[in-house]
Amino acid sequence: MDVLTNISQLATCPDNNDQADIGCIEDAALVWEHGKIRWLGKQVDLPAEYQKSYAQDCSGKLVIPGLIDCHTHLCFGGWRGNEFAQRIAGKSYLEIAAAGGGIASTVKATRDTSFQDLKQKATGLLDEMLALGVTTVECKSGYGLDFDNEIKQLEVYAALQQEQPIDLVATFLGAHIIPAEFKDKRSEYVELLIGQLLPEIKQRQLAEFCDCYIDEGAYTLEEGRQILQAAAELGFGLKIHAEQLTYTGAAALAAELGAISAEHLERISSDDQKHLAKAGTVAVSLPLASMYLKDDYIDARSLIEAGVPVAVATDLNPGSSPSGHLPLAMLQACLYQAMSPAEVLKGATSIAAKAIARESTVGSLLPGHQADIAIIDAEDINHWMYHFRANACVGVIKNGVWQHNRL
Ligand code: NIG
Ligand code: FE
């Protein structure tokens, strides 16, 4: 039995439809045992049976559910610092991609990197994320774009699941771009995805979700529909990179296909918002991609008002978002997406959990839920978001086990 005492604000982040309701308990205590939360409430009400257990005094800090990064491209070879410099100098992301850079250059680097080296690099990124309080990470393939290399990326995730504490949720993104060797025979690549990769991945349970990037320079709406329908028939949950650089109708497709989430959405219409609300699809906002591409930020206010839950994630990848700093993405969501600190916290906990179908076990602090907990050196959520620091997280508990303790 483990106990946290002297918590100034305990944000339980209940899984409900009110994005601003973080379920705060002031002057709280929390108890867990065997990896599960047993009790939480006002410290004055701590039952006598827990009072003799080992207790960590939080000295008046904020305690939240372990953060969930529900959209990353975690496994990739190389980096693209040269493109960052080109974009600063005025080139656009699409211009760089059309000249052979962009995703295609990371595909080449990922194919040229061994399983071991990819795994080691991703481990380093996960270590940094864990220290920030992130305890669950969704991770996409999509830089292999052939049979062996897509499987290689997903196998890296399967191995990492065994070797480090963060829970990983894998997504197949074989439909990221059309690989160069299929440029003039797109339908053959789509056939490889549908006929070979999806069944293999399903059979080996290497991914739970299937994603597709529908945009200029990537997939058409019709190709996306074909791939995602095939994935749904095999039992994959669906996600779509939608309306990022150009408007394609992909957000409406996400709603039509009952996708669990639609990502990016920088360019959606008010009709799309209604469709997503009706379908119960989570909007995953990726503010760091907007920042790095100097693009528009998502209109989170009207999405929330339309009844669409808005998650906040990093989009960690070597191109549009070379950072896995979720608290920085959260700060940006406050400043540029007009979300309150409380709404943002829900977006990176219980709503993020919903975007990866994990809301019954993580994302909220409730008795019976997994003891995934972050302790933040701030008196409350407003103070945490406002006083930005490299890392304000001073304690991380994953599955009931302390991973970091700087208290
Ligand atoms: O989510 N938009 C498509 N995919 C990624 C970018 C990947 C890359 O640039 O390597 C994204 O932003
Ligand atoms: Fe992405």
248-265: per-residue pLDDT in tens?
Answer: 999 999 999 999 999 999
Are 187 and 244 part of one and the same domain? yes
Q: What is the average per-residue pLDDT within 112-116?
A: 98
Q: Please give the distance, rounded to the nearest whole angstrom, from the Cα atom of residue 319 to the centre of ligand 2.
A: 10
Q: Please give the distance, rounded to the nearest whole angstrom, from the Cα atom of residue 73 to the centre of ligand 1.
A: 8
Are 330 and 368 part of one and the same domain? no
pLDDT at 216 over 90: yes
Q: Please give the distance, rounded to the nearest whole angstrom, from the Cα atom of residue 26 to the centre of ligand 1.
A: 40
Band of residue 266 on the pLDDT scale cut at 50, 70, 90: very high
Band of residue 217 on the pLDDT scale cut at 50, 70, 90: very high
Are 72 and 60 part of one and the same domain? no
47: domain CATH number is 2.30.40.10
Q: Does residue 317 have its Cβ closer than 6 Å to ligand 1?
A: yes
Structure tokens at 338: 């007009």
Are 339 and 207 part of one and the same domain? yes
Q: Does residue 106 have its Cβ closer than 6 Å to ligand 1?
A: yes
Are 41 and 142 part of one and the same domain? no
CB 366 within 8 A of CB 12: yes
Q: Does residue 102 have its Cβ closer than 6 Å to ligand 1?
A: yes
CB 118 within 8 A of CB 107: no
Name residue, tokens 């009844």. 307
Q: Which residues span the domain enclosing 379?
A: 2-65+363-405
**For residue 265, what pLDDT is reported?**
97
User: How many structural domains are present in the chain?
Assistant: 2
Q: Please give the distance, rounded to the nearest whole angstrom, from the Cα atom of residue 320 to the centre of ligand 1.
A: 5
Q: How far apart are CA 331 and CA 19, in angstroms?
A: 16
**For residue 223, what pLDDT is reported?**
98
pLDDT at 52 over 90: no
CB 14 within 8 A of CB 304: no
Band of residue 321 on the pLDDT scale cut at 50, 70, 90: very high
Q: Please give the distance, rounded to the nearest whole angstrom, from the Cα atom of residue 85 to the centre of ligand 1.
A: 17
Are 240 and 293 part of one and the same domain? yes
**For residue 201, what pLDDT is reported?**
98
Are 177 and 204 part of one and the same domain? yes
CB 26 within 8 A of CB 8: yes
CB 267 within 8 A of CB 243: yes
**For residue 264, what pLDDT is reported?**
97
Separation in Å, CA 2 to CA 12, 13, 34, 55, 198: 18, 21, 9, 6, 43
Q: Give 219's strand partners.
A: 214
| pLDDT single digits (tens) 369-390 | 999 999 999 999 999 999 999 9
Q: Does residue 319 have its Cβ closer than 6 Å to ligand 1?
A: yes
String of DSSP letters for 213-260: EBSTTSB-HHHHHHHHHHHHHHT-EEEEEESSSS--SHHHHHHHTT-S
**For residue 151, what pLDDT is reported?**
98
**For residue 378, what pLDDT is reported?**
98
* Domain boundary, last residue among 354, 371, 394: 354
Q: How far apart are CA 275 and CA 257, in angstroms?
A: 11
Residue 395 sits at the vertex; the CA angle it makes with 56 and 300, to the nearest 5 degrees, is 130
Are 119 and 214 part of one and the same domain? yes
Mean pLDDT score across all residues of the chain: 97
Q: Please give the distance, rounded to the nearest whole angstrom, from the Cα atom of residue 368 to the centre of ligand 2.
A: 32
Are 322 and 378 part of one and the same domain? no
pLDDT at 111 over 90: yes
Task: Please give the share of the chain, as a percent, with pLDDT higher than 70.
Answer: 100
Question: In the chain, what are the helix, strand and coil shares in percent, each to the nearest 5?
Answer: 40, 25, 35
**For residue 285, what pLDDT is reported?**
98
**For residue 318, what pLDDT is reported?**
98
217: domain CATH number is 3.20.20.140
Q: Does residue 236 have its Cβ closer than 6 Å to ligand 1?
A: no
- State which amino acid sits at residue 279: A
Show Cβ contacts of residue 93 under 8 Å, excluding neighbours closer than 6 positions.
Answer: 87, 102, 245, 293, 319, 320
Q: Does residue 241 have its Cβ closer than 6 Å to ligand 1?
A: yes
Are 382 and 326 part of one and the same domain? no
CB 310 within 8 A of CB 285: yes
| pLDDT single digits (tens) 21-51 | 999 999 999 999 999 999 999 999 999 999 9
- State which amino acid sits at residue 25: I
CB 142 within 8 A of CB 317: no
- State which amino acid sits at residue 70: C
Are 31 and 108 part of one and the same domain? no
**For residue 53, what pLDDT is reported?**
84
| pLDDT single digits (tens) 159-197 | 999 999 999 999 999 999 999 999 999 999 999 999 999
Ligand 1: residue of 74, 93, 320 to mutate (most ligand atoms within 8 A of CB) is: 320
Phi, psi at 5, each rounded to 5°:
-120, 170
pLDDT at 54 over 90: no
Are 367 and 331 part of one and the same domain? no
CB 31 within 8 A of CB 52: no
**In which element (H, E) is residue 277 found?**
helix 270-279
Ligand 1: residue of 93, 263, 286, 317 to mutate (most ligand atoms within 8 A of CB) is: 317
**For residue 145, what pLDDT is reported?**
98
